[in-house]
Amino acid sequence: MKLQTSFTTLLLIALSLPTLASPRNNVETPLTRQLLDVEKKFADAQQHHDRDYVNNAITNDFVSISNNGEAQTKADILSDVVSDNRQEYRIYNAQVVPVNDSAAVVTYDVIVRMVHYDEDTPRYQHVSSVWVKQGSDWKLKFRQATPTELRH
């Protein structure tokens, strides 16, 4: 009897593993839609050199860790907006993890294609962003980009 109970327990655990391992955010919530939208708008603003949008979209204490490991401040990001030469910034495998009512982490993979070849900009990256709600607006507080291989 003990053997049968142990086997049944192991079987139930094994059957539940795929469910436990799958992302919880497969269902798109209003928060997920909203944060992916602001993430995409932020990338579009950088790509189209919209310094005012970028300035208003990030917190004053914003920090970014670039794909080469260097820390950048809000001032650094704003000075780089005019020289952004991305042709494409295609987000996929996005997930939103709420921290509380006024903070969330957004993670995604991205394909970056530059107008002119740039060996310093990895084509495939994994990005993690922390968004915080200030008043009624979501503001970007932290971002880290990590070079990766192509992910399917």
Question: pLDDT tens for residues 47-68?
Answer: 999 999 999 999 999 999 988 8
Task: Pick the more confident residue, 23 or 87.
Answer: 87
Task: Pick the more confident residue, 45 or 113.
Answer: 45
Q: What is the pLDDT of residues 111-128, one digit of tens each?
A: 888 876 666 677 888 999
d(CA 125, CA 13): 34
Report pLDDT for 119. Answer: 67
Q: Are 127 and 107 in contact (CB under 8 A)?
A: yes
CATH number of this structure's domain 28-147: 3.10.450.50
Residues near 152 by beta carbon (within 8 Å), at least 6 away in sequence: none
Report pLDDT for 20. Answer: 34
What is the pTM assigned to this prediction? Answer: 0.77
In this predicted structure, the answer to whether residue 88 has a pLDDT above a threshold of 90 is: no
- Percent helix, strand, coil in the chain (nearest 5)? 40, 40, 20
Report pLDDT for 24. Answer: 45
Domains of the chain, residue spans: 28-147
Mean pLDDT, all residues of the chain: 82
Q: Are 71 and 126 in contact (CB under 8 A)?
A: no
Q: Which two tokens stand for residue 10?
A: 């192991």
Q: Are 110 and 89 in contact (CB under 8 A)?
A: yes
Q: Are 66 and 145 in contact (CB under 8 A)?
A: yes
In the three-class reduction of DSSP (H, G, I as helix; E, B as strand; rest coil), residue 27 is classed as: coil
